[in-house]
Structure 1
Amino acid sequence: MTILKSDVAVIGGGIVGTAIARELSKYQLDVVLLEKEPDIAMGTTKANSAILHAGFDAHPGSLKARLNVRGNAMYHQLKDELALEIKWTGSLVVATSDDEMNTVQELFERGKTNGVPGLAILNREEVLAKEPKLSSGVKGALWAPSAGIFLPFGAAIAFAENAVKNGVKVLTECPVTGIEVTDGHVTGVKTSQGMIATQFVINAAGLYADDVSGLANDNSFTISPRKGEYILFDKNAGSIISNIIFPVPSKKSKGILLCPTVHGNIFIGPNAQDISDKDDLATTPAGLNEVIIGAKRLMPALPLNASITEFAGLRAAANEGDFVIRPSEVTAGLIHAAGIQSPGLTSAPAIAEFVVNILRECGLALTPKPNFLATNEAKVVFRDLTDEQKQVLISKNSLYGRVICRCETITEGEILDAIHSPCGAKTVDGVKRRTRAGMGRCQGGFCGPKITAILARELSVPIADIRKEKAESYLFYDKISGNCEVTDHD
């Protein structure tokens, strides 16, 4: 059964897929975005270092180098257009030996070749003036003022919401089960919800991009998961760092770093472990110890007693070593946007431009949409308002005066906004990613049950049908009776 007809079907609702969908929404096209999970931004996009890289690390001439620098520049405009949470902190690559200083010099030269603005090599005193709590064994560092920190899943949600405003259809819980190919050309995508007729498929399926490619008889690349573990500290740890702090990188990764977040936490990580299981997000004592030892090389006095959670993310490492962004050589109409590991978050909007140009070269007519809506309205963030602004807001809607998450001061009004927005939250973690409810010190211990009840009420489903995150992550084993209304009882 054909449920939709589209010009382009985008497979994958991470930051790359949503950026591509938003870029395509600028044109007079029928576009559908397919995501197998109940929400977008559920893979690598939700568990990573949340850094907008400057672009000095990638080898000159590679797609990573080209698209990193372009993507970094694009986020300055996107920050205002889509109300993204971005802080341009700058980054330091810190050397602790003469050999490492030689690598810093190489990165400086590479960055200049890549077109990274403002790079400078700092001596020991200049580094410690910026970050006085670093190890006294610091020799110097590469300073990149164009680096920043942001909220990756917030950006993916913003891309998706803007795409929906401009006519893109987003289907969640819609895994792709096959790609229909006729006479060597894509003609449709088979999903759990039915067939979607289309002439072009964008493969932005992250860790599963090689599996999706195989559905169209293209086995030209492979994707292997590379796990990275992190430790997140509470805000009460204080502002012990101001900038992104990298060690000198290895051939395998950028190393175990120290980094602030846009909301005032700090984290350390990740390590890098090549694994075989694309669903293995477990943290391990050995892995977390590796993270701690690595971070202490640069900052011995870590506030480990302020850690509030550990987590792991998986990068989609392609066997080719670079991004895999190209038309399939086997099946016409299939375009790959695969192998998007670091600096993929930074590169996402530039990847979207690149993919749209490939579609143009492949014969897709791209007529600009005269009524394209480029902007998203900024979300209400109650905790950031002045007392006067809070009173005005509460006078209009009393639910903004009802705090649900005490750790992060998130109100019921904000939670309702998250549920009822385009691509709205359907799960407890979907609310968390959109509002920060549950991201504080208690990690949802207080607000979790209340959010569950609010979701059930607003989605008009039994409370036992509410899930934490993924398709089968139900919070209750058995159906329960009673109403789902949130009470005032603590």
Structure 2
Amino acid sequence: MSNDVFALSGRFDVAIIGAGIVGCALARRFALEGASVAIIDKASDILDGASKGNSAILHTGFDAPVGSLEQACIAAGYAEYLEIHGRLGLPLIKSGALVIAWSEEEKALLPSLMEQARQNGVADVEPLGEAAMRRAEPGLGAGARAAFRVPREYLIDPWSAPFAYLLQAIENGAQVLRGAEVTGGRRDGIDWSLETSRGTVQAGLVINAAGLWGDLLDEKLIGRRDFHMKPRKGQFVVYDKPAAQLASHILLPVPNKITKGVVVCRTAFGNLLVGPTAEDQDDREHATLVPETLEALKKRGEEILPALRDHQVSAIYAGLRPATEFKDYCIKAHDKSYITVGGIRSTGLSAALGIAQHVLKLAALDLTKPADPAWPVVSNISEYFPRDWQSEGHGGIVCHCEMTTRREVLAALDGPLPARSLAGLKRRTRVTMGRCQGFFCSAELARLTEGHFDRPMAEKA
């Protein structure tokens, strides 16, 4: 049965604005605590803002600022993901990471970075001289000088995780309102009345998890903002699946004050990823791909792994990270009725569950946990675990590049949180994400999705 509604009625304990990674984790946590939850997003589908583009790494937080809220949330989120991923059917690819120095100056920084990791509770970092480093990753370029290993940095599916969080929230009573922009709101001393493009939502507590629009939403609802959003664009290059054999670890650079730098790693979907860049901009909506920047990114990837020169790029993409003028997260309870969760940047995937724990404490609601909460299991779309095409009765392959079955597509168009856009269907099933980028499967997808999307595939934007 679909939870897809066009208006919400009744009063909710909590209204969460924004259905990105953090909003989905918040909805899950509050629903599991027994709150009545509404989650509102202006897009047709979830994860349509900053959350749609990231590196898909489960970070330990080894390089986070010591004592920061970010570090605490990453550590808590990491631990909870390890605890729950099996019950929700979420993948975990135990790759480990190497932090690699490419100059003598960077090599001199490795001991202090390892000490920072230990202060952050990541005590199992291991220094590697050049010989040991090359035994661990024989394909590294000639410029690599030394490294240290972070054994518990892992790869995960960046879309199935928040989808599972929100699905669990729904199955424990939460309601979702998509395509509903919050246009205003007022509080009568007890409850909020949020005005949206699809009606009014009544709630006792409002949580602003609006990502790239969080500061403007604060100004709209409470008349002030404590940070200013400065979107940071990250461009990525994705190599075709044979390139994944070139690296077994996540290959990390020595970070600087602005960015973690360009990463080379496998993805949960069997590709090899190079990126992101870090480019500040004012535009909150468009992450434009720049050919010159992508060429420079390819060149850097080939310096790290020279064998990449012999492999094909299958996709390029860009995302925006909700950076602010502050290095730490901007999470604040303004009073007992309004909490802002802003400035989460690139570590949101790892920290989301920990952020939800922290916000629950700030909310200090008097709640009663359900005695037997529901634990849905999501379908696996990771290349490293059994896929639907390997079982009987799947109805045939729709997307041959990504081996997505008809059964998977139809399931994603139904259920409690159906896909309402091609982008949403991609994130649930991997359709059109392979080497042909939808050239061969788009006609069949247009037929299967007819009547399901807000904007039909055949309609030009």
TM-score range, shorter chain: over 0.9
Partner in structure 2 of residue 347 of structure 1: 351
Aligned length: 453
Pick from 204, 209, 233 the counterpart of residue 214 of structure 2. Answer: 209
Distance in 2 (alpha carbons) for counterparts of 1:160 and 1:20: 9
Q: Tell me how far 1:326 sits from its aligned partner.
A: 1.6
Q: Tell me how far 1:181 sits from its aligned partner.
A: 2.9
Q: Tell me how far 1:320 sits from its aligned partner.
A: 1.9
Distance in 2 (alpha carbons) for counterparts of 1:2 and 1:161: 18
Q: Tell me how far 1:62 sits from its aligned partner.
A: 0.5
Distance in 2 (alpha carbons) for counterparts of 1:261 and 1:7: 38
Q: Which has the higher contact order (CA 8 A, sep 6+)?
A: 2
Aligned amino acid, residue 367 of structure 2: L
> Equivalences for 1:115-154 in 2 at 5 Å?
115-154=121-160
The CA deviation string for residues 348-384 of structure 1, in whole angstroms up to 9 with x for no partner, is: 0000011011111xxx2121111212x2224266996
Partner in structure 2 of residue 358 of structure 1: 362
Moved beyond 3 Å, runs of 4+: 1-4, 380-389, 465-468
1:318 aligns with 2:312: no
Aligned amino acid, residue 313 of structure 1: G
CA 290–23 in structure 1, closer or farther in 2 if over 3 Å, else same: same
Checking the alignment, whether the CA contact within 8 Å between 2:110 and 2:147 is kept in structure 1 is: yes
> Equivalences for 1:269-288 in 2 at 5 Å?
269-288=275-294
Checking the alignment, whether the CA contact within 8 Å between 2:102 and 2:144 is kept in structure 1 is: yes
Q: Tell me how far 1:332 sits from its aligned partner.
A: 4.7
Distance in 2 (alpha carbons) for counterparts of 1:204 and 1:2: 19
Aligned amino acid, residue 145 of structure 1: P
Partner in structure 2 of residue 54 of structure 1: 60
Structure 1 runs not aligned, ≥5 long = 395-399, 469-474, 479-490
Structure 2 runs not aligned, ≥5 long = 1-6
Distance in 1 (alpha carbons) for counterparts of 2:387 and 2:216: 50
Q: Tell me how far 1:431 sits from its aligned partner.
A: 1.6
Distance in 1 (alpha carbons) for counterparts of 2:309 and 2:424: 29
Aligned amino acid, residue 31 of structure 1: V
Q: Tell me how far 1:477 sits from its aligned partner.
A: 4.6
The CA deviation string for residues 434-473 of structure 1, in whole angstroms up to 9 with x for no partner, is: 111111111111112211211115x3x8xxx6445xxxxx
Distance in 1 (alpha carbons) for counterparts of 2:38 and 2:238: 36
> Equivalences for 1:60-79 in 2 at 5 Å?
60-79=66-85
Q: Tell me how far 1:49 sits from its aligned partner.
A: 0.8
Aligned residues: percent identity?
34
> Equivalences for 1:107-118 in 2 at 5 Å?
107-118=113-124
Q: Secondary structure at the match of 1:99?
A: helix
Checking the alignment, whether the CA contact within 8 Å between 2:93 and 2:155 is kept in structure 1 is: yes
Aligned amino acid, residue 286 of structure 1: E
Aligned amino acid, residue 66 of structure 1: A
Q: Tell me how far 1:76 sits from its aligned partner.
A: 0.9
Pick from 252, 262, 267 the counterpart of residue 261 of structure 1. Answer: 267
Q: TM-score, normalised by structure 1?
A: 0.88
1:452 aligns with 2:446: yes
Q: Secondary structure at the match of 1:74?
A: helix
Q: Tell me how far 1:309 sits from its aligned partner.
A: 1.4
Distance in 2 (alpha carbons) for counterparts of 1:40 and 1:180: 25
Checking the alignment, whether the CA contact within 8 Å between 1:58 and 1:64 is kept in structure 2 is: yes
Checking the alignment, whether the CA contact within 8 Å between 2:266 and 2:273 is kept in structure 1 is: yes
Q: Tell me how far 1:6 sits from its aligned partner.
A: 0.7
Partner in structure 2 of residue 419 of structure 1: 413
Partner in structure 2 of residue 485 of structure 1: none
Pick from 191, 196, 219 the counterpart of residue 191 of structure 1. Answer: 196
Partner in structure 2 of residue 471 of structure 1: none
Q: Secondary structure at the match of 2:363?
A: helix
- Higher Cα Rg, which structure: 1
Checking the alignment, whether the CA contact within 8 Å between 2:157 and 2:382 is kept in structure 1 is: no
Distance in 1 (alpha carbons) for counterparts of 2:135 and 2:283: 43
Q: Tell me how far 1:293 sits from its aligned partner.
A: 3.3
The CA deviation string for residues 87-121 of structure 1, in whole angstroms up to 9 with x for no partner, is: 12111110022221222111100110010141111
Aligned amino acid, residue 199 of structure 1: G
Partner in structure 2 of residue 179 of structure 1: 185
Aligned amino acid, residue 236 of structure 1: P
Distance in 2 (alpha carbons) for counterparts of 1:68 and 1:386: 29
Distance in 2 (alpha carbons) for counterparts of 1:385 and 1:195: 44
Distance in 1 (alpha carbons) for counterparts of 2:76 and 2:380: 30
1:376 aligns with 2:376: yes
Checking the alignment, whether the CA contact within 8 Å between 2:191 and 2:202 is kept in structure 1 is: no
